[in-house]
Structure formats: structure tokens, C-alpha cells
Amino acid sequence: MPMTITEKILAAHCGKKEVAPGELINAKLDLVLANDITAPIAIKEYRATGAKKVFNNERIALIPDHFAPNKDIASAEQCNMLRQFSRENDLSLYFEVGRMGVEHALLPEQGLVVPGDVVIGADSHTCTYGGLGAFSTGVGSTDVAAAMITGEAWFKVPETMKFVYKGKAGKWIGGKDIILRTIGDIGVDGALYRAMEFTGEAIKKLSMAGRLTICNMAIEAGGKNGIIEPDEITEKYVAKRARRKYKFYKSDKKANYVEVREYDLTGMEPQVACPHLPENVKPVSALGSINVDQSVIGSCTNGRIEDIREAAKVIKGHKVHPYVRMIVIPATQAVYKQSIKEGLVDIFIDAGAAFSTPTCGPCLGGHMGILAAGEKAITTTNRNFVGRMGSPKSEVYLSNPAIAAASAILGRIGTPEELK
Amino acid sequence: MKFKGKTWKFGADVDTDAIIPARYLNTSDPKELAKHCMEDSTNPDFMKKMQPGDIIVAEKNFGCGSSREHAPISIKAAGVSCVVAKSFARIFYRNCFNMGLPIFESVEAVEGIKEGDQIEVDADAGVIRNLTSGKEFKVAAVPPFMQELIAAGGLMAYTKKKAGL
């Protein structure tokens, strides 16, 4: 039976020759992940079972990134739970402040998730690793607690939707625009319970950063996982960093798709998701004049070095608008260091922007840039729900790094072309 | 299993930030989380008005967004007996079965219930009765594995048994 890449990876992890959509399987996990918000519940649940040993102390990643560096006493207690549990169980993948980064940027960068993996994480954006050609999906804390004991998780094999992108993307168009356009098309539950397979000539040319951005936001369409077939670009990315053996899976030519959708990127404008749902997507020129109080570059969606470079290219030689606070947050320490090396930090500071240590911070309204009532932000993050970045009376617009950077200079949502 | 209570209606795509805003996620204490249940939703005074046993009835894709189990925990700890929706977001759905918040899918029930109606959810019979209007609706069947999970007492009890703990 012909299978999709998602079906092949799942079959290989439950010891079967083939699996079909709808089938319930118990899959072996290559990595289990949780953060400072979700791990405390998982740790409590784990301890309540009386379990004495985790399934594998090298395959559980605990990353304090959401409210870390600790934003208040309660957050400090939560981070401390991860720290203590990691020491008790001798977990090799605990990342302390100073070494940590935003989880979904850090794990691929460090070669800790690899093509062909099955990964669960108590964080909805765990679907990011599909950009490497892995099956990865977000779950809750209880799933992680059970997986820390068994090293397994149950899944219903999802149906796959295929998204084909053709045409030549213009300047400033990246993974973010591709995924925003897709979510705008199918809606926030357009891929509910389904695998989203991204393919086509435009994807084949896309950098690993762009691919990770696309798969990162599969959850914003309700998808179970996002996935892209690994190729030479993937090989180049993983060859130098993979800490484990990896395997490239590819969809069979005659694999079954529940739906196929095609998009032509030729002439496509940068896309912006307007409040208060990621599906409220418009081309940037259709927005009219929207003043912004804050511009954020960062997160698991767009905090990689390519994103920081793109924003720096736009900002260079300009000043942030007097009424705007621009906050740049590299997703990992390696991205931070590279930004220093390339002189990007100087560019931002000279322009009047803040440059922060890695954290999820403002993306989920945690810290490092919370909005007051009535304020508006343009941000490279992934969600614009009511209250997502602070006050329930604030508004969040989602875009790529170039648009967020140009808007910081203009004081309103706009494009690099509008800069003098 | 039967749940009887007054209904509170919500729209489509209620996200987990609306159910429990991230600013309260520096704790996982159910009682603390319950205080802020639905605070950023279209009914921010939900906790002031609701009574234990009340039922949330929502349109499609309830619980979309983050994976935070704090969302179903806050609903359960608030005293909501169950949630009826046209559909549920995937991670929220999975979390509810894992941690034990009863949820039911029924398009016709959501369309046939007005806010404030008294309803009875009869899980065994697979029906929802609107006691105010006298109408009856079918509930989508719970998948067999999910029934197994419920019978075992949730995912952790199921896992304990499997791991021989």
C-alpha cells in the first residue's frame, strides 16, 4: 500500500509494515519534551504513580523558556521543579538559563531532533520539527508524564492534506507568508486532526529556517503535524549537527491524500494576520494605516538567525519610530552569538531597539514586552488571540520579520519598500 | 454517567488563552486556575455567575491554540460538569480524556440549546436532552480506545497498570 511520509514514520515506530489513516497505534518515541509551564503538571503526575525510573534519561528534554529567566517567584518555583526533577533523574537534556533557548528553535539547532523521529512535546508548537522530515506533535502534560515512564504514546494515524506551492516568491516573502496565506485560506480548524504535508517547487527552494517556520504554525490550522520531505537542504542542515542516526522518509507517488490544495506564490504580497485569529489574514497592502506601539522579532516561529538577519537588513541605517518599542529576541544562545559576530546587535541597538536574552517572553504574554489596554503590536510570533501579548484590550498582528522591522521604523504597519 | 445543569454558551474557536490566560500560568494549582476560568472569553464574568454543575456549550473548535492542560483543569476545578461543542481542537480533546473532563460532540445539540437552558447529558445513552425545550439530540460516539481510557480511570491509571506500577 502506498503511504505518505507521516504514515511511513508512524509505521516504523510501531513495528508495522504499514498503517492507514484512522488506525490507532502505540508508537515508540525518540524524544519527549516539556517546558516550565507544562512540565510541572507532568512531574506531579509522574511522581504520583510511584515510578522510580524514566524510560531513558537521554531522551527527555526539559526546557525552561516560557517564563525564564524567572519572571516572578511563582515562575521561579516552576522552573525549580524542572531543575530538581532533572537532577534527580540525571536528565542529560535539561537546559539552564544561559544555555537554554526557545525549545523548538533549540532542539533542531542542536541536532537533538532528527529526520525520521517521532517526538511529542507538551507544547503545541512541537509540530515545528516536521520541517526536518520528522513526525512531531503537541500533547498535554499528562501525555508527557505517561511517556516519561513508557517511552511510548498512542496516536490515531491522521489523514494527510497535501499543500503544493509553485511560482516564484518575491522579495521579503518567506515561510511565514506561505503558512499565513495557507491558514487564511483553510481557517484555524481547516486541518483539524490531520497531517499537513507541504510540498512543491517553492518549498524545495526554501531554507531550513523557512521550513521550520511553516511546520511550526501547522497547529494554527488545527493540524496534528506539519511535515516536509527531507532533501539536500535538509541533509546539509542535519549532517553537521545530528547527535543521532537519522533517516529520510518520502511519500510514495501514489500515497493517499484526503485533499490537495495548490497555491501560486508569484506576485504574492507579504501576509499579515489581523486580530484576533491567525486565520484573519490579509495582504499587507490591504491593511490601511494601522499605528503600532510595539514590534517584536523572535519566538519559535521566527527567532532563528535568518529572521534576525532579515530584520537587521531592514533596520540598518534607520531609527525606530519615537512612538514604538522594538524588541528583538534571538531564539537561542547560538543565534545571539552569531548576531553579535555579524554586527546585527549593533544595528538594532543603534536603531534604538532592545535586544534580549532568549525567552518565549511576550509571545504568550509572559514578560519582556507586555501590552497595555488599547495598544497594538506587530510581531513575528504565532498567535494573536485576545490577550495573547498582554491586556485583553490590546491587539496583535502577525507578520514576517521584514514587515515587523519596517513597521517599527514607520510607526505603522508597512513594508521595507516604504522606507526612505 | 449523567450530567444535569444550566448552560453557558460560547462561540466558535474559543482558544486556550481565552479559557485560561497565560498570565496565570505561573501556577498549576487547580483552585488558582479555576478563579480565572474563561476570563478572556466573551463572558469574562463567567466565574462570578456560574454554579457548580453548570455546562459549557460551544460552537466549533473549542480549546484551540496552546497545549496547556491548565485549560481543562481550570474548567473542571471551576465545577463545570461537562463541555458540549460542535467540535474540539485536537490537543484539548486528548487532554480532556487524559485528565478526566467529560466532553461531548454534537452539532445538533449546540444548535438546539440556548444559553440558560437546563440540559441533561446522558453519556451512556448517547443523548442530550434539553429539559427547557423538551428536545433530544444525539451525541457523537466516543471512540473505543477513549472508552477504554475512561474505564481505566484516565491515562495515568492506564499507564500505571501497563507499566506494572
The DSSP string of B37-55 is TTTTSS-TTHHHH--TT-E
- Among B10, B24, B64, the strongest candidate for a mutation testing the A interface, having the largest count of A CBs within 10 A, is B64
Q: A264 φ, ψ to 5°?
A: -105, 120
Looking at residue B151, its pLDDT comes to 84
| Strands, E assignment, A90-133 | 93-94, 118-122
* Chain B residues touching A366 at Cβ < 8 A: 22-23
CA–CA dist A70, B143 (Å, integer): 41
User: Taking a C-beta distance cutoff of 8 angstroms, is the pair A156, A193 a contact?
Assistant: yes
- Distances, alpha carbon A313 to alpha carbons A132, A307, A346, in Å: 27, 10, 12
For chain B, what is the mean pLDDT? 96
CA–CA dist A163, A264 (Å, integer): 11
ipTM of the complex: 0.96
Looking at residue A420, its pLDDT comes to 81
State how far Cα A257 lies from the chain centre.
Answer: 25
Structure confidence by residue, pLDDT tens digits, B74-113: 999 999 999 999 999 999 999 999 999 999 999 999 999 9
Percent of chain A surpassing pLDDT 90: 100
pTM for the predicted model, two decimal places: 0.97
Q: Hey, what's the cell of B35?
A: 478563579
3-state secondary structure of A10: helix
Structure confidence by residue, pLDDT tens digits, A281-335: 999 999 999 999 999 999 999 999 999 999 999 999 999 999 999 999 999 999 9
- B44-57 average pLDDT score: 98
Omega before A69 within 30 of 0, i.e. cis: yes
Q: Does B79 touch chain A (CB under 8 A)?
A: no
- Distances, alpha carbon B41 to alpha carbons A161, A201, A294, B37, in Å: 31, 41, 24, 9
Positions of chain A with pLDDT under 50: none
DSSP-assigned letter for residue A69 = T
CA–CA dist B28, A264 (Å, integer): 45
Q: Does A158 touch chain B (CB under 8 A)?
A: no
CB pairs under 8 A between A and B: 144
Q: Looking at CA atoms only, how far is residue A400 from chain B in angstroms?
A: 20
CB proximity under 8 Å: A 62-121 to B? 66-67, 71-72, 74-75, 78, 121
Looking at residue B156, its pLDDT comes to 95
Cβ neighbours of A81 (radius 10 Å): 19
Structure confidence by residue, pLDDT tens digits, A240-284: 999 999 999 999 999 999 999 999 999 999 999 999 999 999 999
Looking at residue B150, its pLDDT comes to 83
Q: Does B70 touch chain A (CB under 8 A)?
A: yes
Structure confidence by residue, pLDDT tens digits, B119-154: 999 998 999 999 999 999 999 888 888 888 888 888
CA–CA dist A279, A273 (Å, integer): 6
Looking at residue B145, its pLDDT comes to 86
For chain A, what is the mean pLDDT? 98
Q: Does B133 touch chain A (CB under 8 A)?
A: no
The full DSSP string for A159-201 is PEEEEEEES---TT--HHHHHHHHHHHH-TTTTTT-EEEEESH
Query: Which DSSP helix (H) or strand (E) runs through B146?
Result: helix B144-152
Q: Hey, what's the cell of B14?
A: 474559543
